[in-house]
Structure 1
Amino acid sequence: MKHLPLFFDLAGRQVVVVGEGPKADLRAALANSAGAHVRRLDARSLRPDDFAGAIAAFVATDNEGSDAAAHRVAKAAGIPVNVMDRPALCDFIMPAIVERDGVLVAISTGGASPTLASVLRARVEAALPERIGALVRLAAGFRGRVNDLIADPARRRAFLRRLVEGPASRLALAGDEAGARRFALDELDALRRQATSAGIAHIVGAGPGDPDLLALRAAQLLQEADAILHDDLVPQAVLARARRDAEVVCVGKRKGRPSWAQADIDAELVGRVRAGQTVVRLKAGDPFVFGRGGEEIDALRAAGLAYTIVPGITAALGCAAAAGIPLTHRRHASTLTFVSGHSAADGRPVAWPALSAQGHTLAVYMGTTEAPAVRDRLLEAGTPPHTPVAIIENGTRADQIVTTGRLVDLARLAAAHAQAGGPSLIIIGDVAAYAAAVETPPLVKVS
């Protein structure tokens, strides 16, 4: 993050605006709207003491030489300065602003694209309810009372969130502010009388890695959670969607590395929910596809605790789509099987002959380190050595790599991916040949 967004109280403070014309007038009007005392200066006769007592300066002369000269004088006076349309001369930047009845939203691209910021501002303006100020007043009126009456932070957050999202908020936005206050008071009184209750667990799929592929409900729960217990494979880009003050705990399991035992994860999840927390158990891909989500549900059920399940895009679907591979195809594949690569290495009962049948697509999870065993089992079962394969590493992410080849070479192809250590998926079957046609270099490499 290049710029830290801050909201300064300018009421009664001095701001200098250098320049004449519409651009300078705009900066002066913005500063005035925030309650600042604006001093207008001519760029042709500036001295450092002209900036004495000012908190900030805006320069908008619309002349490159004059802008640079005014910037030098302001810097000599030790004043933070913004030079309009010249990012290299700015100590701070001006975002696109949405202001509606007590709600202020600032949008910035760091000066890279003011046009994009303007487009986003229009979208935010369209999304904000016309009576949003009534909701601001409702929340402000209850904040101190809620802090005094509800000691537990998790229950306090839950009440305040319901206040701005639930029935009271709908009354306020409909224009019935008195009715909204009455409803909120009744809810607060009922909550105050309750004893501390257990929380809830949400078993949530994080998808294959691209945060834009999160389900809407998953994104909402990341903003509600008191704690997030996440797999090691969940990328930082997804975790960044969490509420800023949520406790984030990595409980991942990775082959060959020290990691949490499943029993310890179950105990951590149960303990936190019993203590009243709202917990998101965030699992890469889908919780119920090689994700042990079923075991965690068993633990919660045994403890008599509440839970919900939010599915995610599993790796086979996300990675195949990102690589341009149709997992089924009318001319090439009519069946699809998900299988763990470990089942090839440890001899688990898998119907390998059936998986080797023509017209069958095989999606192998956790298979790069076990690629030799996967190859051998399929060849022994009769799969043709020239069967197409594709290995997708970091699927759907910016650093995605796709390697294609033939089954007979699977071990060699997988070796580099296993060494890199990123999450990888192997697709075996005629449809894997479609990956070679993906026009996204340099992400795709054909071997």
Structure 2
Amino acid sequence: MQSLPVFLALTGRPVILTGQGEAAEAKRRLLERAGAIVVREEDADARIAIVADGDEATVARLKARGLLVNATDRPALCDFTLPAIVDRDPVLIAIGTGGASAGLAAALRQRLEALLPTHLGDLARALFAARGALRRLWPDSAQRRQAIGKALAPGGAIDPLGFDPDVDFWLSEAPDAMVGELYVLRLRSDDPDDLTLRDARMLAQADRVYHAVDVPAAILDRARVDAVRIVAEGLPTEKSEGLTVWVGI
């Protein structure tokens, strides 16, 4: 990754916006939608700034004050970039290209807008409201994560892309957590795009990933950040046999 995606809580916070025209107005609408207070360059309390006309002198002045700056259409001058956004409040999906192509980010956003149902926000709020019930059903955090992962999986009880997922109904059925298992994933290539849907899902749900030393980092990155990676001896590593990953659930 060339940058770390973050979500900034801007409600009630001042953000400097400079420049005129359509680009500046678009940034103003975005900031106001996020609850920010748009202020002038002279504001002493702001810590973030957007230079909508990409003016280098303005960028230099603001950076000299210690602000993080976005310069429109000038990725080399940016401390952060603004992604294309799919808004299913409180679910936000951000698509960034590191300033390489705003058009590509916009095209991906349009695809996701068509794919993701409007009820995603309702599902997120229902899961938040159900936190107490989830903890009572599964006091162990690993079991709770597995149960939620199983329910949210394709075809699961509350599949986010399914028809009207109902969290209360799911919990009233007293669902079981996923039974612990060891899943063997034999890689056909070093390309993570060659993973089957099931392989990718198991990697994403794994608590532990046992792997040969030469399994590519791009494959292991498909597992959760907090999943334990364990280099295991005795796993087949010959290309003719296929790289092997053991996924512990």
TM tier, smaller? 0.7 to 0.9
Q: How does 1:269-418 map to 2 (within 5 A)?
A: 289=241
Q: How does 1:48-447 map to 2 (within 5 A)?
A: 50-61=42-53, 67-165=55-153, 168-169=157-158, 174-175=163-164, 177=166, 180-187=167-174, 199-253=180-234, 289=241
Determine the C-alpha separation between the residues in 2 that align with 1:134 and 1:109. 29
Structure 1: which amino acid aligns with 2:35? G
Classify 1:234/1:164 alpha carbon distance in 2 versus 1 (closer, same or farther; 3 Å): same
- Structure 1 stretches of 4+ with a deviation exceeding 3 A read 165-168, 170-177, 282-286, 289-293
SS in 2 for 1:248: strand
Contact 2:16–2:48, Cα closer than 8 Å, also in 1: yes
Identity %: 38
Determine the C-alpha separation between the residues in 2 that align with 1:14 and 1:224. 39
Query: Could you tell me how far 1:94 is from its partner in structure 2?
Result: 0.8
SS in 2 for 1:169: coil
SS in 2 for 1:17: strand
Determine the C-alpha separation between the residues in 1 that align with 2:98 and 2:22. 23
SS in 1 for 2:174: helix
Does 2:24 align with 1:31? no
Q: Deviations over 1:275-324 (max 9, x none)?
A: xxxxxxx97768xx48899xx9xxxxxxxxxx9xxxxxxxxxxxxxxxxx
Classify 1:183/1:210 alpha carbon distance in 2 versus 1 (closer, same or farther; 3 Å): closer
SS in 2 for 1:202: strand
Which of structures 1 and 2 has the bigger CA Rg? 1
Q: Deviations over 1:233-292 (max 9, x none)?
A: 321111111111111111134xxxxxxxx8xxxxxxxxxxxxxxxxxxx97768xx4889
Q: How does 1:2-17 map to 2 (within 5 A)?
A: 2-17=2-17
Instruction: Name the structure with the higher helix share.
Output: 1
Q: Which runs of 5+ in 2 are unaligned?
A: none
Query: What is the TM-score when the length of structure 1 is the normalising length?
Result: 0.50
Structure 1: which amino acid aligns with 2:69? V
Q: Deviations over 1:170-200 (max 9, x none)?
A: 59964474xx413323325x66xxxxx9611
SS in 2 for 1:54: coil
Name the structure, 1 or 2, with higher relative contact order (CA <8 Å, separation 6+).
2
Query: What is the TM-score when the length of structure 2 is the normalising length?
Result: 0.86
Determine the C-alpha separation between the residues in 2 that align with 1:172 and 1:211. 23
